């Protein structure tokens, strides 16, 4: 299950070729199947206009020495789209060209936005993860390059769908980036190279922490009734497992993914615990704390701790311990990573053996620089398989916590519980795939009581 990434550029190749982006824009020999448009402009459509989508669009238009325009936007909520458009237009007045007739609202809006593009253009998919495979299907049909946010799946059935879909994208030579931007961190990349070169010896233990206050819209209050159940859940998508995989999937995935990267493998099983604390009348499905032990095929452990409570000790870091020393993979958040290696297991400043020198490039921007570079130069570039595996491993740990059972990689991959069957048929007037009970509440996991699936539908 090692991550050989045959369809991706190596980090060294990316660094070597990124500097050629500007020169590549003038290569007349590149056909329109490689990049979009005879006018040499890559056109972008944004599907999902929340904070992360708006940020991704801004990073797309910030690729150095490039000709990139935002030409279409789509969302379920008009207010969110308008806010995003106004902010992007103010920042990129010459690159945002989205008139009223290319601002689309509704469940089919993603199709209309993609219909505004040409083959070889780029669509940004930043709606809640539940819709990822549905929208990726249409992007492939349209011959579009894609940037999609993490996680890319939320359960076993959607992972199987995504992996099968991606075979079609590979056959069409589409370039696809996944928003696990830590993989594009130069500091982490240098640490990875050093670990693979044996500077830590054998990797014995990985520790990852995201122990902060409530993040995003993970705690959800009762629906006041102004929106339908479906619309209210989408507005608060971090609170519902069918939409996002919940707090575990949407936030812990970065630490889990970078830990798997440092190990250069994916774990084969997980055991976990978690619980809810003094939640009052909150109606979301999340636990407030998660503690997971992942095991790799060679027996190496990765411990992942997540907590979203006020007033508690905070840590947002990933550490690696080896037989020859230890390392900080990241510390204090996603960026800067502050990666460094220590002699022995005590991470004291006087024992630093290596630290990333100078200022770190922003990985949120670098993931876009690398994607556009691959489009311009027609280089192999598809992060979906790795993104799907990282998403599945995250779901494996989440299910272990929610059921109280030992869950293996094969079990979660082949599990029959699809959180949102028929999601591709939803409309704004549809019932949600997860409806509340008469009190307006939703099922929460019950470890040890409900053991075959993560929650029982009311």
Q: CA 245, CA 120: separation in Å to the nearest integer?
A: 31
- Superfamily of chain region 184-360+393-425: Dihydrodipicolinate Reductase; domain 2 (3.30.360.10)
What b/e string do you get for 84-104 counting C-beta neighbours within 10 Å, with b at 16 or more? bbeebeeebeebbebeeebbb
Cα 186 to chain centroid distance, Å, stands at 18
State pLDDT tens for residues 297-349: 999 999 999 999 999 999 999 999 999 999 999 999 999 999 999 999 999 99
Confidence label for 39 from pLDDT (cuts 50, 70 and 90): confident
What pTM was estimated for this model as a whole? Answer: 0.92
CA 254 vs. chain centroid, Å, equals 7
Question: What are the pLDDT digits (tens) for 18-33?
Answer: 333 333 333 333 333 4
Contact 331, 224 (CB under 8 A): no
- Please tell us whether the domain made up of 11-182+363-383 is placed in CATH 3.40.50.720: yes
Q: Is the pLDDT of residue 12 over 80?
A: no
Q: Give the three-state DSSP class for 69.
A: strand
Residues 47/144, Cβ–Cβ less than 8 Å: no
- The structural domains of the chain, with segments of one domain joined by +, span 11-182+363-383, 184-360+393-425
Mean pLDDT rounded to a whole number for the chain:
92
Kindly report, residue by residue over 142-175, the tens digit of the pLDDT: 999 999 999 999 999 999 999 999 999 999 999 9
Q: Which two tokens stand for residue 72?
A: 């279409």
Cis status, amide bond into 151, omega within 30 of 0: yes
Q: Cβ–Cβ contacts within 10 Å for residue 250, how many?
A: 24
Which H/E stretch holds residue 64?
Answer: none
């Amino acid at each position: 299950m090692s991550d050989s990434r045959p369809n991706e550029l190596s980090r060294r190749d990316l660094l070597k070729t990124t500097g050629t982006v500007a020169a590549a824009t003038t290569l007349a020999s590149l056909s329109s199947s490689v990049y979009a448009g005879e006018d040499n402009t890559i056109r972008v459509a944004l599907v999902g206009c929340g904070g992360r989508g708006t940020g991704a669009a801004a990073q797309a238009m910030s690729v150095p020495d490039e000709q990139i325009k935002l030409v279409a936007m789509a969302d379920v909520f008009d207010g969110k789209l308008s806010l995003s458009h106004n902010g992007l237009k103010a920042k990129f007045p010459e690159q945002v060209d989205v008139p009223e007739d290319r601002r689309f609202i509704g469940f089919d809006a993603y199709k209309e936005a993609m219909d505004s593009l040409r083959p070889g253009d780029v669509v940004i998919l930043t709606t809640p993860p539940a819709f990822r495979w549905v929208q990726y299907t249409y992007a492939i049909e349209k011959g579009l390059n894609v940037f999609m946010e993490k996680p890319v799946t939320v359960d076993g059935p959607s992972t199987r769908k995504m992996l099968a879909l991606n075979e079609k994208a590979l056959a069409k030579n589409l370039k696809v980036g996944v928003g696990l931007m830590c993989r594009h961190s130069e500091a982490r990349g240098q640490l990875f190279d050093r670990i693979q070169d044996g500077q830590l010896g054998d990797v014995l233990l990985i520790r990852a922490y995201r122990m902060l206050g409530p993040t995003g819209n993970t705690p959800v209050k009762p629906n006041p009734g102004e929106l339908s159940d479906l619309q209210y859940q989408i507005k608060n998508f971090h609170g519902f497992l069918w939409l996002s995989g919940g707090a575990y999937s949407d936030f812990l995935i970065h630490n889990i993914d970078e830990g798997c990267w440092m190990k250069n493998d994916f774990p084969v099983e997980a055991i976990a615990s978690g619980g809810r604390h003094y939640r009052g009348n909150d109606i979301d499905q999340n636990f407030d704390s998660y503690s997971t032990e992942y095991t790799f095929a060679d027996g190496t452990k990765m411990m992942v701790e997540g907590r979203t409570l006020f007033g508690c000790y905070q840590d947002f870091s990933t550490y690696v311990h080896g037989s020859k020393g230890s390392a900080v993979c990241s510390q204090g958040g996603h960026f800067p990573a502050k990666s460094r290696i220590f002699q022995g297991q005590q991470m004291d400043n006087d024992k630093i053996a290596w630290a990333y020198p100078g200022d770190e490039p922003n990985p949120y921007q670098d993931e876009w620089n690398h994607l556009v570079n691959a489009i311009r130069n027609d280089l192999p570039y598809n992060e979906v398989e790795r993104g799907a595996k990282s998403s599945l491993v995250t779901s494996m740990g989440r299910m272990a916590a929610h059921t109280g059972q030992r869950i293996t990689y094969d079990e979660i991959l082949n599990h029959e519980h699809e959180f949102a069957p028929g999601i591709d048929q939803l409309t704004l007037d549809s019932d949600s795939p997860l409806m509340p009970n008469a009190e307006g509440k939703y099922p929460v996991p019950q470890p040890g009581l409900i053991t075959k699936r993560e929650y029982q539908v009311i």
